[in-house]
Structure 1
Amino acid sequence: MKTSDHLGHTKRTQKDYSLSFKLKLVEELELGLLTKSQAKLKYGIQGDSTVTKWLQKYGNFDWEHQSPKTMSKTPEQKILELEAKVKLLEKQKARAEHLAERADKKVIIFDMLVDMAEKEYDIEIRKNYKPELSKTSKKTKKRP
């Protein structure tokens, strides 16, 4: 064991603990008599992961096949989340409707300006293309 004179405490490593001590501690944790932090304080264990490593090595829990723990939500929590989503979607819908209405107004104003410019300057700004068949497609239609 290493001692630190100026701090007044003993610095220990995992090798300083006996196997029987580790097994006893793991048993206390698995029985729910202590939490990891309580065990650290009670026995003066300094490392944050020391107790976890002992649990993995000597405990009864199958750490290799552990499935992630997800806390199930209560119906009230689910309702609150869904209500928040509904409010968000309503805001997004209102914004989209506002932008669509604004775009429609812009189109109307643009059309009015083009009409005014055509009358004022007596020119045709809009091109009115009539769909006509190309010469090659006319020829192919006549052959059958």
Structure 2
Amino acid sequence: MLFIFLRGATIRTSVLTTLVCLTLLVLVSCSRGSAPTNAPVVVQEARSGEEIYRKYCSNCHQGGIVESPVFGKKEDWEDRIEKGREALIANVRDGMPPGMPKMGNCPSCTIEELGNAVDYMLAALEDEQETEEENTKAE
């Protein structure tokens, strides 16, 4: 009887030792992955609207290809401007038939960068308006 008792204690001790070792192994493994690194965090600055426009938008918007509104031509943009800036950005993001591809054909662009491109194109319309007003005053 004493032998059975001692044998049971040995088995329980082995199981307990194994569980403790496994627990320590898991804890040590998990803590290694969470150690801080000295690698610098690179924060990429959003590209300018002009940069995005020249690289991705100008091919269509410079000449009005596939019914796209021409850069700087206010009458082409009037209906779109009435919808507001956020709607314009959504149209670029989602695409718009017949020719506006999703994300303005710039899959690497962020929504902020698409907004920058929209702002750049809208600013060109304001510049045109100011030029027209100056020409009218000069006459």
TM-score (norm 1): 0.27
- Larger helix fraction of residues: 2
- Larger strand fraction of residues: 1
TM-score (norm 2): 0.28
Bigger Rg, which one: 1
